[in-house]
Structure 1
């Protein structure tokens, strides 16, 4: 879930977002039988279980929220399914075309995948039971209106790699400038009045 977005910088061609990043996978070694359907693990147990080495391809700077404790959790289901969630702030690159400024529409992708595993080891898939990305109802953008958030996937073939690398992308999102900008013509002297 995207909790907030911004700032969006045309100068740096970046955007920032605060989100809950959730991943799920099955590890049969963690399957169990018992009265509870799920077990919540402490953060200290995270170091003892396998996790995908997910990273953000176009990330410029990111961090995990840690006040008052690290903002992450793990839940294990009886069948060995693991849900791993963390609250992140991500600053990512967004190549912008400003030809139509101030009436421009920008697509700002968030691309993520495995850092070291190939598609022989790890394959990322969207959970089709719910929207790929949920947006907080109270989220506001000062410069843009969020128009769309399409999800997709890409598989990169890296030269000399034994297997291709899986990469997922999410346009975060398609944004249209909201019209709060004024256009001045330097040749028009009336703009100073």
Structure 2
């Protein structure tokens, strides 16, 4: 199985590579459109600021490639947010895969949210084998509100989307590669799609 991690200068690549290596796979890091399109599974990572990340995607043409992919695609953290219509962060236009706009947590809670939070996913097959209300690791200041694509939620001052799905596109706000056994199980589930 060929797993390609999209390389567009966003952080958090090494921990994702190690996450798949622990499962016995050797992912490829690539910004090459042909290589990404020929992958069996695509990982769209991201840590950083939405505006500058989208600028890099536009400059490389990947903003057109990613939404057109037909194989399973997993957006992680900022990767998931960039697959939404847009983000308040830098007033950024997103890739429009998920029909929701990302907004900033208000000042009623400590921002960013850093640490473990419970993920509620009562019916989502993507979470097969992961206990409902299992803890996952998060680091973020912006979030996707509840929407038609929500498959899992967390609560941080309000209930919000912590996982999204539309067709072959999946997105998680948490970091599965840093979320212990439950996160590892989720990566396995993705590879088994």
TM-score normalized by structure 1? 0.22
The structure that is strand-richer by fraction is 1
Structure of larger gyration radius: 1
TM-score normalized by structure 2? 0.22
